[in-house]
Amino acid sequence: MFNKKILLVRNDETFLVNAIKNTLEGAHFVVQDSTYSIADLSKKVDGANLILLYTDQDFEEHRDALVYFKDLCDEENMILMVIGDRQAFELMHMYVPREDVAFEVTRPLDMSDLLSKVTIATDDEYEHQRRKCILIVDDDLTYLQMVREWLKDTYRVGMANSGTQAVAWLAKNKADLILLDYDMPVLDGPKVLEMLKSESFSNSTPVMFLTGKNDRKSVTDVISLKPADYLLKTITKDKLLSTLNTFFRQRKVT
């Protein structure tokens, strides 16, 4: 909790806003306050672990700021909290998905409850659990470990070195995406994908092939299985991360 930075966004420095700031600083948070101006926000958001929005009757006038917060959630996995009423929460969700708002806090404020929620939302484990989970399935252990290293700072990562191991992992864990090798012994990628689609716990999990097979027949053979994408192992780290980020952003709006 110590030294975690909170960006407190408000219209005016009211008595209650100052009370919130003092409560958080008394709990050893670093608090930076800002107006809803994009220029002000962009100068102060760097390094923030949480954005805490204090809303009032003028909240609807700040739709440009809501678009800005949405982009921060999409691009930087920012965590938001909102203090307000039902109308403010509904307006917020027109722009920012519910899963990107850690807590909605109604007035009148209970300061101890607010502090408890801020503490939870800035905990390292909370941030980690919010990350998307990707299961990598590949019999090449060296490549498996390399891709894990590429992804581990952005996503929670599971690993399986066979189709059977992947099914066993998914029976106990939830993945948001599976990166699946094509050419594996015993059960190749297409057969593994067929198995995953037949299981209730994995039939809705999107699958991308990540493979060295780039011949036309291999690609056309799996089109009927409707993979989310077909990526080659020549892909760079930056390109893979960009592809995954785009994929999850698009799923948010569909």
Q: Which helix (DSSP H) or strand (DSSP E) does residue 239 occupy?
A: helix 237-252
**Given this model, what pLDDT does residue 140 score?**
94
As a whole number of angstroms, the distance between CA 187 and CA 199 comes to 16
* Structure tokens that stand for 155 in this block: 């996503």
Q: Which regions of the chain carry the CATH code 3.40.50.2300?
A: 5-128, 131-252
Nearest CA-CA partner of 136 in 79, 211, 65: 211
Average pLDDT over residues 58-78: 90
The CATH number of 131-252, from 1.10.10.10, 3.40.50.2300, 1.10.150.130, 3.30.460.20, is: 3.40.50.2300
Residue 75 clears pLDDT 80, i.e. is over it: no
Report if pTM > 0.85.
no
Weakest-pLDDT range from 125-129, 146-150, 194-198: 125-129
**Given this model, what pLDDT does residue 127 score?**
76
Residue 157 clears pLDDT 90, i.e. is over it: yes
CB environment 146-161: b (16+ within 10 A), e (fewer): ebeebbeeebbbbbbb
Residue 227 clears pLDDT 50, i.e. is over it: yes
Weakest-pLDDT range from 2-16, 97-111, 166-180, 207-221: 207-221
As a whole number of angstroms, the distance between CA 30 and CA 17 comes to 15
pLDDT tens by residue, 9-37: 999 999 999 999 999 999 999 999 999 99
Residue 92, C-beta contacts closer than 8 angstroms, at least 6 positions apart: 53, 66, 80, 82, 84, 101
In contact, 4 and 31? CB cutoff 8 Å = no
CA atoms within 13 A on the CB side of 201: 10
Provide the 8-state DSSP code for 202: T
As a whole number of angstroms, the distance between CA 214 and CA 224 comes to 17
Residue 201 clears pLDDT 70, i.e. is over it: yes
Other CB atoms within 10 Å distance of the CB of residue 94: 9
In contact, 65 and 39? CB cutoff 8 Å = no
**Given this model, what pLDDT does residue 81 score?**
96
Q: Which helix (DSSP H) or strand (DSSP E) does residue 217 occupy?
A: helix 216-222
Architecture of the 5-128 domain: 3-Layer(aba) Sandwich (3.40)
Q: Which residue has the higher pLDDT, 214 or 85?
A: 85
At residue 253 the predicted structure's pLDDT band, cuts being 50, 70 and 90, is: low
**Given this model, what pLDDT does residue 1 score?**
46
In contact, 184 and 211? CB cutoff 8 Å = no
In contact, 230 and 209? CB cutoff 8 Å = yes
